[in-house]
Chain A
Amino acid sequence: MMLVKNVVRSLLFSVFMRNFLRWVIGIRIGDNSSLKTCPQFIVTGNHNSHLDTMAILSSLPARRLKHVYPVAAADYFGRTKLMSLLSRFFINVILIKRSKDGSGPNPIEVMDKALKEGKSIVIFPEGSRGQPEDMQPFKKGIGILLVNHPQIPFIPIYMEGLGKALPRGEGLLVPFEGRVEIGEPTHIQSDWTVDQVVQFVESKVLELKNRSKEV
């Protein structure tokens, strides 16, 4: 069963989705060598579109897919039993609840546990997808996670254009050129506070914005 799942997911993301994004939507995926070599990591990306998760999973080398778990909100990806089953199977998603009242498991604890099990995770520290192509300030969660696990590096990813291809609340996919820039695995200093870490991660993601334009 695991083998079937791995093969299906490799075909889906590394073959179908990658080429679909590249040729139909027009998304260029940058150099992904940092995702190839780093054993465990937290991917931190900016969030514009449902395509973001697809784009990050498509950026992964096929054999790394099974180690990487995107973290997503249960109120969307877990709307129905079927939806949560499908997203667990295909996307490997870890569902978290965005509840204000604190009911259910604490999202940070869920992610902590995943990291302790040796999983790599993908998170979007802006929380929800904001206005298309407009980066929101990062939330604290990423800071807490990295302070708890200073030995795990984060890999910043900057995505552009995907929010134009499939913005929030839209069901119609329209081709629009964009890019996925993948940064280097970066460790934080162990004496940093949560806020410092959040700012650092945010600046690393923003740094990538100007990368390919300079070349």
Chain B
Amino acid sequence: MKSILGLSPEVAWSLLGIAGVLTFFSILFFIWKIFKPHAPLKELIDRTKSWWVIYVLFVGTIFLSKTVAIIAIAFLSFVALREMLSRLDFRFSDRRAMFWAYLVIPIQFYCVYISYYRLFIVLIPVVMFMILPFRNVLTGEVKGITQSTAKLQWALMLTVFSLSHIAYLLAIKPPQGFTAGNEAYILYLLFLTQFNDVLQFIWGKLLGKHKIIPKISPNKTWEGFLGGLICTTLLAYFLRYLTPFTVTQSLIAGSLISFSGFAGDLNISAIKRDLGIKDMGTSIPGHGGIMDRLDSLSYTALVFFHLTHLWTVP
């Protein structure tokens, strides 16, 4: 098969398809705005614009070169970690440990760069798990140390550890005969995760009646969840040419992405409820902060990575 602009045909056509979907919605909202100038569309239009920016940045980095992609994802996880650490109410004395948490980012992504899986997979859950509490202990400030240490480790897991798995998808050795390229894994994961978010939202709006956990998220309904689950699983089946998965594997991947995306989303929602804030940040117009957009991805990235690793790496 011939490559198009250095992309495999599978990836190129999928990207074109996504651009088509975005174009469709941009035009739809544009026309809607003309006929109903007072419709509350600002958030939707802002969101669509942000999606275009994300799309262009995504295509411009992930497919430029592996190095650029890794640096871009490293920077994204830095901003995500910074956002979490800025929201979670740390003590003054936690600054030193926070600094160490930031320092781990380049090391973690260097492991991705040189495909050093052994260190990559233990650096944060094992090494930092011991270093961060120790650094905090050294300050001698014990009041609130339990919460601080737990929050710091958790923030690091949700942002850097999780997002670095997206980068590691580029470093996995693809099985023989799989021609779509490792970028296709990322495309598959991101597209399914984000589509699942949107589909759960749309099905919830259309049919939603029975709320799942109204205390945390009043918009999450059983109808939305199941609608998203079915659609995402179907989509995972149809897009499976982006992966080396068998039919069964693609169905499992799709449904688990839907499940874990739902859980990751609720996880961040619960934090926001606890802190009494609407958004984690203000980085992305219409979406809020980085973690408002990457909430589901912080879970799906781990699930998808380990499924892929399990099924394709001998």
Are A and B a genuine interacting pair, yes or no? Answer: yes
Cβ 8 A contact of A175, one of B82, B92, B281 = B82
| Min C-beta distance of B85 to chain A, whole Å | 7
The A/B interface has a contact count, at CB < 8 Å, of: 31
CA separation between A174 and B86, bound complex, in Å? 11
Interface residues of A, dominant DSSP: loop
- At the interface with chain A, which of B95-103, B121-129, B132-140? B95-103
Inter-subunit contact A26/B79 (CB<8 Å): yes
Using a CB–CB cutoff of 8 Å, the interface residues on chain A facing chain B are: 26, 28, 132, 161, 164, 167, 170, 172, 174-178, 212
Task: Closest B residue to A28 by CB, please name it.
Answer: B282
Inter-subunit contact A174/B99 (CB<8 Å): yes
List B contacts of A174 (CB < 8 A).
95, 98-99, 102
List A contacts of B282 (CB < 8 A).
28, 212
List A contacts of B83 (CB < 8 A).
26, 177
CA separation between A174 and B78, bound complex, in Å? 12
A-B contact pairs, 12 of them (CB 8 A): A26-B83, A132-B92, A167-B92, A167-B95, A170-B95, A174-B99, A174-B102, A175-B102, A176-B85, A176-B86, A177-B83, A178-B86
Q: Which B41-94 residues have a C-beta within 8 angstroms of A?
A: 78-79, 82-83, 85-86, 92
| Min C-beta distance of A196 to chain B, whole Å | 35
Using a CB–CB cutoff of 8 Å, the interface residues on chain B facing chain A are: 78-79, 82-83, 85-86, 92, 95-96, 98-99, 102, 281-282
CA separation between A28 and B85, bound complex, in Å? 16
List A contacts of B85 (CB < 8 A).
175-176
Inter-subunit contact A177/B92 (CB<8 Å): no
CA separation between A176 and B102, bound complex, in Å? 11
Most buried by B among A167, A175, A176, A212: A175
Task: Closest A residue to B102 by CB, please name it.
Answer: A175
List B contacts of A212 (CB < 8 A).
282
Task: Closest B residue to A166 by CB, please name it.
Answer: B95
List B contacts of A172 (CB < 8 A).
95-96, 99
Cβ 8 A contact of A177, one of B95, B96, B99, B281 = B281
**Known pairs A172-B95, A174-B95. 17 more at Cβ < 8 A?**
A26-B79, A26-B83, A26-B86, A28-B282, A132-B92, A161-B86, A164-B86, A170-B95, A172-B99, A174-B98, A174-B99, A174-B102, A175-B78, A175-B82, A175-B85, A176-B86, A177-B86
